[in-house]
Amino acid sequence: MKIVYQNVIWLVLFAAYNYISLAQDPPIEFDIAAFFHEENSQAKVAFETAISKMSIMQKTFSFNARSHVIPEGDTFASNNLLCNLMASGDGLGGVICPGGPKVAAIMESTCRNLEIPAVNINWRPSASFMNESVAINFYPYPKLLFQGLGVIVKNLQWRSIVIFYENTENLIALQGVLKIQDYDGAKYNSIILKELGPGPDYRSALKQIQNKTEYRIIVDCKTEHIIDILSQAKELKLLEPHFSYFLTSLDAHTVDLSVLDTTANITTVRIINPESEHFQYVLSRWKQYADGHGITDVDLDQYSIKTETALMHDAIDMFLRAVRDLNVRKKIEPATLDCQNSIFKWERGFDIVAFMMERGYESETSSSITGPIRFDSMGRRRNFTIYVVEGNRDDLIAKWNPDDPKVVQFLKSEQDRNKALEKKWKEGTVIVASILGPPYLRKRKPAEDGQVLEGDDRYEGFSMDLIRALAHELGIKFRFEVLESGARGVYDKKTKSWNGLVREILDRRADLAICDLTITPERRDVVDFSTPFMRLGISILYKKTEAKDADMYAFLNPFSLDLWVYSATLVLGITVAFYFVTRLSPDDWENPHPCDEEPEELENIWDLKNCLWLTLGSIMNQGCDLIPKGISSRMAAAMWWFFAIIVTNSYTANLAAFLTNERSQGSINSAEDLAKQTKIKYGTMDGGSTQIFFRDSNYSLYQRMWTSMEQSKPSVFEKTNDDGVARVQNTKNRLFAFLMESATLEYQIQTKCDLKQVGNWLDSKSYGIAMPLDFPHRSRINEALLKLQENGKINELKDIWWKQKRDSPLCPKVSDEGPSNKLALQNVGGVFLVLGVGIALAYVVAIFEFLWNVRNVSVEEHISFKEALKVELSFALNIWVTKKRVKPKISESSSSSQSSGGESRGLAHSILHGAGSFLRLDVLSRAGTPGSRHTSRPVD
């Protein structure tokens, strides 16, 4: 509607012009030359349309379009043509330089000589700009253009980038993009430059990024090569969905990328906005012009309009307006000029260009289809807008302009973009790569009802439950892909590639990877990780001391067998020696009756029994209540005591040392302990982060450990953690320790009670969920994980898979100190045994003594052995009777029996009738037989 309206205005203006012009001076002929490489091109249509429009709009000038087709690269012929045009007719008022940079440079130089305005609409890589020049370029100033591209790339948040460029000339311009590292907050891991070569076969260049981790690619090439390059990339599987491309060509919108049939993310840029209304209006005029002049072979479709065409429109429009408006102040009339004689120049050329530069195109923006136009003093365009398009040609997402160089204005709010992304995510199925290894993931046992398990139902474990909980939080569907190789991800320096789960992520066969996957700096460079869901460190798994190892005769260990034998012999020897010393020593012969001052006999208490008692009592540190009196015997005793004190104290000290040693014997308490010995071998899982930790550590202790592990034969590296655990269990004499991550170690020692964790963590790290670099849903996953952490779900899952869902019973809890810090019965069992045996022997001897005594009583009392035994036994067992009365000798009692035979009978009777009556009768018998110290009869 608007277009029709504008056309009506146009016709009215045209009529008014015709009317007025009849009454005015004839218009000034003003020729503008433009050079093209094709007969009919969009730019030519734009050029001629703009001139015819301006010719109609005013009456002062008769603007004439002088379009010329010139061969590409023929500088000589082109320049000759230009000179002829300048010299013929009314001369030229301006020149639109051609696209070819060489020809453009020559023509620009000719124009400079003669001060004819030289208008450029193409990028001139090696153009030399000058102050106060007649040359002006409507193409965005390359430095600013590439700065803009750099800022846009920064906003894409790519971290590793490969830039493919077509030729070195472009590379210079690309420096703007290379400088993206300097822009605020941009963090790039790597920017790799690769030359595409001359084409048309770009495969050898593209192949260089096959098997690499780079899938963010910037392609700087001619528009006409885009399809060739991308279709060859597709052949090489470099156009898979996870690849992202950024095309620097400002005409990329003219290429129909749908022919590539790819879901790879392709971002393009342009400085025109084909959707804008003004563009549509100008386009309709071009179409009208083409129709009116029978031009049918020019594609004037909305999306096929090249930047050059749009710039041609703006350049001519602005130039003609400048001529028209400047003419009001200074009369402008073209003149014929001679290329060979540059003394004569056109006096208005410089004025027109200066006027354009000064005025810009701000006020009349509606006429420009590449936005407002401003120049610097060297004729370089400093104002333009870069539109960023993603995927479809009409999917405009952002724009940038040099006025606000650090900011990319997103046309869709971040929220909208996120919502769209999330929606797409929820519609699909997230592929989760994992490996088998309990408790993270294991095969489910077949169902009892024989039902066949399929898909994810085949597996269970911590990882499965965690992803299930995450999926529930995020509202996504997922599917597990279990990797047979069991590799988590190691970088092979030879093949320069990753394996395992990391490879799956890099190749985008999986969106997420989960297991006991440690977050390491190397992995972090090529894949992203979620926030950690478990913290851990490397620990030592070792076998506990076996109970049977404890020595119950450890108390014998302090002395060698020889020493025991010598000591025992010495006790006996000293007993005998002491016996003789005391016999010789006069002072040990004592008066048995101290009240009798002149005794007839002397007594020596040091019989062999007492001597033995003294020697034993001394060596046992118990002393003895019998003390020698003679000098020699005291000397002997003192020497024995001296010997005893040394021997017993040596024994005590040695025993303590032996028992301590017994407890810590062969024991490893830290990595240092492992490193400083060679007997106990130690190893890690092959291809895991633990192995890499030792391999790459700069710490001397771990370096030593790594050297030792590397040189060990047979290898100490186990394929899986389970193999390592089994090796610790099965290696005899506890000669193998396994370095593994504490989380898995903890799981193992829950049920394998013969194993223990030794020492502290060697480092501190975490497990995380891996995902592709710049994964758009990373923050969503992190949020969900934090939520699960906060509400205790992750801890709950850990408890379930570490403790509850176990096939074997959990080991009984052992205090942290462990049994080894205390003496167990096993360690001192022998002492109990010695005590038991000693007491038993004492009983044997006691029984023997008792029977012997019974025998004596029976003989003395003339009663049968059995009767005497009965009496003695009932007395011994009557624990209430605590006193024993002396019994007169049998001979005495028998003599008294003669005077009182009834009493004698009474005694016999009392003997026969128990201890109770025995007391009474005995009193009677004593009355008749005054006490004798030799009697031995017991009485209450």
Contact residues for ligand GLU (CB under 6 A)?
488, 516-518, 685, 688-691, 740-741
Nearer to ligand GLU, 401 or 691 (CB): 691
Q: Which helix (H) or strand (E) holds 352?
A: helix 349-359
- The CA distance from 658 to 663, in Å, is 9
Shortest gap between Cβ of 801 and ligand GLU (angstroms)?
Answer: 16
Shortest gap between Cβ of 739 and ligand GLU (angstroms)?
Answer: 7
Shortest gap between Cβ of 156 and ligand GLU (angstroms)?
Answer: 30
On whether the CB atoms of residues 57 and 13 are closer than 8 A, the answer is yes
Shortest gap between Cβ of 699 and ligand GLU (angstroms)?
Answer: 18
Nearer to ligand GLU, 520 or 935 (CB): 520
- The CA distance from 691 to 718, in Å, is 10
Which residues share a beta bridge with 542?
Answer: 756
Shortest gap between Cβ of 798 and ligand GLU (angstroms)?
Answer: 16
Nearer to ligand GLU, 94 or 768 (CB): 768
Distances from the Cα of 904 to the Cα of 252, 595, 895, angstroms: 144, 36, 9
Nearer to ligand GLU, 230 or 517 (CB): 517
Q: Is the omega angle on the peptide bond into residue 402 within 30 degrees of 0, that is, cis? A: no
SS3 496: coil
Shortest gap between Cβ of 516 and ligand GLU (angstroms)?
Answer: 4
- The CA distance from 42 to 272, in Å, is 15
Nearer to ligand GLU, 518 or 929 (CB): 518
Nearer to ligand GLU, 741 or 872 (CB): 741
DSSP state of 253: G
- The radius of gyration computed from the CA coordinates of the chain, to the nearest angstrom, equals 56
852: left (phi over 0), alpha (psi -120 to 50) or beta: alpha
Nearer to ligand GLU, 557 or 766 (CB): 766
Nearer to ligand GLU, 116 or 540 (CB): 540
Nearer to ligand GLU, 720 or 751 (CB): 720
- The CA distance from 501 to 660, in Å, is 48
Q: Which residue is nearest to ligand GLU (CB)?
A: 688
Shortest gap between Cβ of 145 and ligand GLU (angstroms)?
Answer: 45
**Beta strand residue intervals within 486-573, DSSP E:** 491-492, 497-498, 512-513, 527-529, 534-536, 538-543
Nearer to ligand GLU, 493 or 813 (CB): 493
H helix runs in 119-198, sequence order:
142-155, 168-178
End-to-end CA distance of the chain: 142
Q: What are all long-range contacts of 486-493, with beta carbons under 8 Å and residues at least 24 apart?
A: 486/435, 486/436, 486/437, 486/719, 486/720, 487/435, 487/687, 488/435, 488/515, 488/516, 488/517, 488/518, 488/687, 488/688, 488/689, 489/513, 489/517, 489/523, 489/770, 490/687, 490/688, 490/692, 491/522
Nearer to ligand GLU, 286 or 529 (CB): 529
Distances from the Cα of 696 to the Cα of 683, 700, 707, 753, angstroms: 15, 11, 11, 33
- The CA distance from 736 to 102, in Å, is 76
Shortest gap between Cβ of 512 and ligand GLU (angstroms)?
Answer: 15
Nearer to ligand GLU, 285 or 488 (CB): 488
Shortest gap between Cβ of 688 and ligand GLU (angstroms)?
Answer: 2
Distances from the Cα of 194 to the Cα of 154, 190, 818, angstroms: 20, 13, 63
Nearer to ligand GLU, 550 or 794 (CB): 794
Q: Half-sphere exposure (CA, 13 Å, Cβ side) for 772?
A: 24
- The CA distance from 536 to 763, in Å, is 8
Question: What are the φ and ψ backbone dihedral angles of 105, each rounded to 5 degrees?
Answer: -65, -40
Nearer to ligand GLU, 251 or 718 (CB): 718
Nearest-5° angle of CA 721, CA 723, CA 727?
115
SS3 373: coil
- The CA distance from 568 to 556, in Å, is 13
- The CA distance from 720 to 251, in Å, is 55
Shortest gap between Cβ of 672 and ligand GLU (angstroms)?
Answer: 20
Shortest gap between Cβ of 402 and ligand GLU (angstroms)?
Answer: 47
SS3 29: strand
Nearer to ligand GLU, 246 or 693 (CB): 693
Distances from the Cα of 617 to the Cα of 621, 625, 627, 640, 648, angstroms: 6, 9, 12, 11, 12
Shortest gap between Cβ of 519 and ligand GLU (angstroms)?
Answer: 9
Nearer to ligand GLU, 349 or 683 (CB): 683
Shortest gap between Cβ of 517 and ligand GLU (angstroms)?
Answer: 5
Shortest gap between Cβ of 543 and ligand GLU (angstroms)?
Answer: 18
SS3 151: helix
- The CA distance from 206 to 229, in Å, is 9
DSSP string, 37-59: SSSS-HHHHHHHHHHHHHHHH-S
Shortest gap between Cβ of 763 and ligand GLU (angstroms)?
Answer: 11
Nearer to ligand GLU, 332 or 466 (CB): 466
On whether the CB atoms of residues 53 and 47 are closer than 8 A, the answer is no
Question: What are the φ and ψ backbone dihedral angles of 3, each rounded to 5 degrees?
Answer: -65, -45
Shortest gap between Cβ of 696 and ligand GLU (angstroms)?
Answer: 13
Shortest gap between Cβ of 765 and ligand GLU (angstroms)?
Answer: 9
Report how far Cα 388 is from the mean position of its chain's Cα atoms. 35
> For the chain, how are helix, strand and coil distributed in percent, rounded to 5?
50, 15, 35
Nearer to ligand GLU, 386 or 540 (CB): 540
SS3 353: helix
Shortest gap between Cβ of 501 and ligand GLU (angstroms)?
Answer: 9
